[in-house]
Amino acid sequence: MSKEKIWLSSPHMGGTELKYIHSAFDENWIAPLGPNVTGFEKDIQVFLENDGKSECEVAALSSGTAALHLALVLLGVEHGDEVICQSMTFAASANPITYQGATPIFVDSEEQTMNISPLELENAIQDRIQKGKKPKAIIAVHLYGMPYQVDAIEEISKKYDIPVIEDSAEALGSTYKNKNCGTFSDYSILSFNGNKIITTSGGGALVTRKKEIKDQAVFRATQARDAAPHYQHSKIGFNYRLSNISAGIGRGQMEVLVERVSQRRKMFEFYVNLFSEVEGITVQQAPNSDYFSNHWLTVIHVDPEQCGFDREVLRLHLEQENIESRPLWKPMHLQPVFQDAPFYGTGIAKKLFQNGLCLPSGSNLSDEDRDRIGSAIRECLTKYSKNYG
């Protein structure tokens, strides 16, 4: 294939990352601690507090998955416990529940944001309590950058006194009612994996409103070493801290985060225009102005009956043109590995999965790339659509 590949979402360096990496080498901070780690934490904190409503503490970690795991550990989740988790998400939201020997309880999505349904969440909580176990935590996810129904979920969390773990891995730069995603919980997590809106090649963070929680997270992430001259341990620890090299990449990336958000949103606008006249294909949009999405990935829904073709036809057509697209996250309750886990819902996540497609959304896509994507999509519509062209 001669045409260069257009990726769904690929790393996009800002230019100053190497400066921070060089300083790590110059100062010989080649370790999972050092000035870049501290500086990166500060950069994230300053960014998250820029809404004028949030106060937070940040612990930089080796991945978003590690951050989720530590959140569960710090909340005291143990063998035999139950933890509620949004079913429609990446497996990394749910896997750490099993690391603790706990059981995930999956909950369906609502259609407006594609995130955890408040109605089904409350059903699930009531039923689990009735069955004899109150869930220890609720993992809610801002999928593809779109905030979940924050107020409704917080209300349920308060009513039943069950803490929310906010999975903001895909939503750095998104806001709900002008407050930054990543600041809605004492246990919020971010990811800086290679495909996220900014990257440290691999990395994550736990964001909290409480200094004690940050201190505990760092303590556990660095092998839970007690204060003693020898190696003394009274708790189980992990090796989950972010390296000073990776944090250097993060410092450079934080300088361009705002620009990255507007570039992703530009891709979203491009698709809104492209599909505005197309019957049977809808672009997932914010329900109202309370929701501001970074549009990490733009999602479309292909109605096979109206279109005369399904999302796989479009995906394969794009693939032929060397353009990457991807079905939505397959819900966790439909995954072989979680087939025995309880699920509460009506099938909305399943339907979203069947008809949904993520389109190339990278901040580094050019006008030329957009032209190619546009032509490929129009070609597919002309070829297969019942009512186009």
Which residues of this chain interact with ligand PLP, rule CB under 6 A?
A: 63-65, 89-90, 92-93, 141, 167, 169-170, 191, 193, 204
- For the chain, the first-to-last Cα distance in angstroms comes to 28
Tell me if 72 sits within 8 A of 52, measured CB to CB. no
Instruction: Please identify, using beta-carbon distances, which residue of 97 and 377 lies nearer to ligand PLP.
Output: 97
Alpha-carbon gap, residue 34 to 73, rounded angstroms: 25
Beta carbons of 282 and 275 less than 8 angstroms apart: yes
Of 62 and 355, CB closest to ligand PLP = 62
Closest to 286 (Cα-Cα) out of 184, 144, 155: 144
Nearest residue (CB) to ligand PLP, 144 versus 275: 144
Name the strands in the sheet holding 175-176, side by side, starting at the edge strand that comes first in the sequence: 179-180, 175-176, 291-292
Q: For the CA atoms of 19, 24, 25, 29, what is the dihedral angle to 10 degrees?
A: 180
* DSSP classification of residue 108: P
Least distance CB 265 / ligand PLP (angstroms): 18
CB of 50 to ligand PLP, least distance (A): 23
Full DSSP string of 267-332: HHHHHHHHTTT-TTEEE---SSTTEE---SSEEEEE-HHHHSS-HHHHHHHHHHTTB--EEPPPPG
With respect to ligand PLP, which residue has the nearer C-beta, 145 or 248? 145
Position of minimal CB gap to ligand PLP: 64
Q: What is the DSSP string of 163-219?
A: PEEEE-TT-TT-EETTEETT-SSSEEEEE--TTSSS--SS-EEEEES-HHHHHHHHH
Q: Which is nearer to ligand PLP, 36 or 385 (CB)?
A: 36
Is the Cβ of residue 117 or residue 385 nearer to ligand PLP in the bound state? 117
Which CB atom, from 327 or from 374, has the smaller least distance to ligand PLP? 327
Gap between the Cα atoms of 339 and 196, Å rounded? 28
Helices 35-48, 244-254: inter-axial angle, 10-degree rounding: 30
Residue in 17, 85, 41 with CA at minimum distance from that of residue 241? 41
Minimum distance from residue 123 beta carbon to ligand PLP (Å): 23
CA–CA dist 63, 71 (Å, integer): 13
**Smallest gap from residue 93 Cβ to ligand PLP (A):** 5
Tokens of 387: 């009512």
| Nearest distance from C-beta of residue 230 to ligand PLP, angstroms | 33
User: CB-wise, 195 or 306, nearer to ligand PLP?
Assistant: 195
* Distance in Å, CB of 234 to ligand PLP, minimum: 28
3-class secondary-structure state, position 263: helix
Shortest distance, CB of residue 116 to ligand PLP, whole angstroms? 12
Q: Please report how close the Cβ of residue 148 comes to ligand PLP at its closest, in angstroms.
A: 11
Residue 145 is classified by DSSP as G
Q: Which is nearer to ligand PLP, 45 or 63 (CB)?
A: 63
Residue closer to ligand PLP, measured from CB, 257 or 313: 257
**Residue 71 main-chain phi, psi, to 5 deg:** -60, -45
Q: How far is the CB of 92 from ligand PLP (least distance, A)?
A: 4
Nearest approach, Cβ of residue 158 and ligand PLP (Å): 24
- Tell me whether residue 56 or residue 332 sits nearer to ligand PLP (CB atom): 332
Please state the closest distance from residue 378 (CB atom) to ligand PLP, in A.
Answer: 30
